[in-house]
Every structure is written in C-alpha cells, then in structure tokens.
Amino acid sequence: AQKITQTQPGMFVQEKEAVTLDCTYDTSDPSYGLFWYKQPSSGEMIFLIYQGSYDQQNATEGRYSLNFQKARKSANLVISASQLGDSAMYFCAMKIYNQGGKLIFGQGTELSVKP
Amino acid sequence: GAGVSQTPSNKVTEKGKYVELRCDPISGHTALYWYRQSLGQGPEFLIYFQGTGAADDSGLPNDRFFAVRPEGSVSTLKIQRTERGDSAVYLCASSLTSRNTGELFFGEGSRLTVL
C-alpha cells in the first residue's frame, strides 16, 4: 500500500537558518510524483514544490528545495534562510500516476521559526 | 473567482442531521477532489471526480457520505445522519486534469462541527 511518513511532529528553527523536514514514502510503482504543501494557521493548503520520480535533478523553487533520494525513498524539504512567515504545518504528499490523480498525504510537521 | 471556493466556511449541526458542503473549482479544471482533515492530521482522501463521474470513491468512509458533480463543475458533498466523529474540516481541491503532474489547488475548507 502507498504511504507517506513524516516522523517529525514539530520542529524549531532560528530565523535565517536552514531547516530540513523529513519525508519517506512507500510505493512499488515506478511512476509517481512527490509534493510539499504548506498550511498556515488560516487553513489554506499552499503548494510549494514538486518532484517527479523520473526527474534526474532535485527540484528547487526559490528558498525551497527537495532532497530526493530515490533508493532510500525519501523526499526531504529544505527551507533555506527561514523567515517568521514560514511558521506553519508542512505536508508531504504522493501521487501514483496509474492510480489517478489523488494525493496521499503524510501526518505533517509543524515548523516554528524563532526570531 | 480565481481560486477554489467552498461554502459554507463553517457549519454547526446536530447529530443525526443532513449536511451539504459545496465546492466551486477553478474554472476549466476538470478534476475535483474532496478531502477530510481532522485536527492535527494530514488531509485524508475521500473522492475525486474527472468531469462528471466519480473516478475514485475509495476514501468515502461509509454509505452516509455521497458526492455529486452533475455538470462537471460545482460539486456537493452530502453527509446523511451526521455523527460527532464526522466533525472535521472538509477540503476541496481541483486540478487541470487528474493525469497531469501539476499540483492540486485547495480551497479554504468547510469546518463541520457535529454536536
């Protein structure tokens, strides 16, 4: 069965420092995509970054990068130069392409950025 | 509007009552998804539509839950004989299709409280 695991319920980081949020996934299907979403206290889910299973290079979007290690089935999110506005819940999610478009989400990590 | 719109934003009902939650996706998006998010958890998949048809309803917890999308745009999630355990935020999302690698765009959710 497909599964996403986020083992860090909560993380703290000092403003302006980098932080890594862990995500491991489980699937036997070779064709899939990995996504990270941010959910601030307002509740809206905000898309951050995407990595396809066949992508050779790690995805980057501004201060966000995805450390994709296929053999280890991990897709960690790295946030560089943390800002106070980065404080939120972060969810890792997976889409299996031959099983339609649904995303399977992990349990989330709550990130708190300290001034 | 430009984004996914969900109504009502908040709904309080009594145990045993019937509830309808509405989702208006981004114009032109053919895929529409319903998720349920309990406090402190990641979104849990319920059902998704490609066009008017339910492509995958494997996440619906029981036959009290039903969703429709009669014209391929607006969708309604219907919950019969509500129970206290149905209390959660119900999130709707849409994407251009279910088969692309693009992200899902989420609404702000409908918070359901069953007393």
Q: What average pLDDT does the segment B2-26 reach?
A: 96
pLDDT of residue B43: 96
- The percent of residues in chain B predicted with pLDDT above 70, rounded, is 95
DSSP for residue A98: B
Q: Which amino acid type is present at position A114?
A: K
pLDDT at B98: 62
pLDDT of residue A98: 82
Query: For the segment B29-85, what is each residue's pLDDT rounded down to a tens digit?
Result: 999 999 999 998 999 999 999 989 998 999 999 999 999 999 989 999 999 999 999
Look at the alpha carbons of B102, A56, A67, A109 in this order and tell me if their dihedral is positive or negative.
positive
Q: Which residue has the higher pLDDT, B55 or B15?
A: B15
Cis peptide before A115 (omega within 30 of 0): no
Contact predicate B52/B35, CB 8 Å: no
Summarize pLDDT for B90-110 with one digit per residue, the tens: 999 999 866 656 789 999 999
The alpha-helical segments, DSSP class H, found in chain B are none
Question: At residue A68, what is the residue type?
Answer: F
Interface touch A107/B109, C-beta < 8 Å: no
| Residue closest to A44 by CA, chosen among B77, B49, B106 | B106
From the list A35, A44, A47, which residue is nearest B108 (CB)?
A44
State the Cα–Cα distance between residues A5 and A20, nearest whole angstrom: 15
Chain A residue closest in CA terms to B102:
A50
Residue ranges of chain A with pLDDT lower than 70?
none
pLDDT at B18: 98
Decide if A114 touches B, using CB distance below 8 A: no
E strands present in chain A: 3-5, 10-14, 19-21, 24-26, 32-39, 46-52, 60-61, 64-69, 74-79, 88-96, 104-105, 109-114
Q: Which alpha helices (H) appear in chain A, and where do they start and end?
A: none
Look at residue B1 and tell me whether its pLDDT is greater than 60: no
CA-CA distance, B95 to B29, in Å (whole number)? 5
Which among B35, B55, B104 has CB closest to A100?
A: B55
A115 in reach of chain B (CB within 8 A)? no
How many angstroms separate the CA of residue B62 from the nearest CA in chain A? Answer: 19
Higher pLDDT, B16 or A100: B16
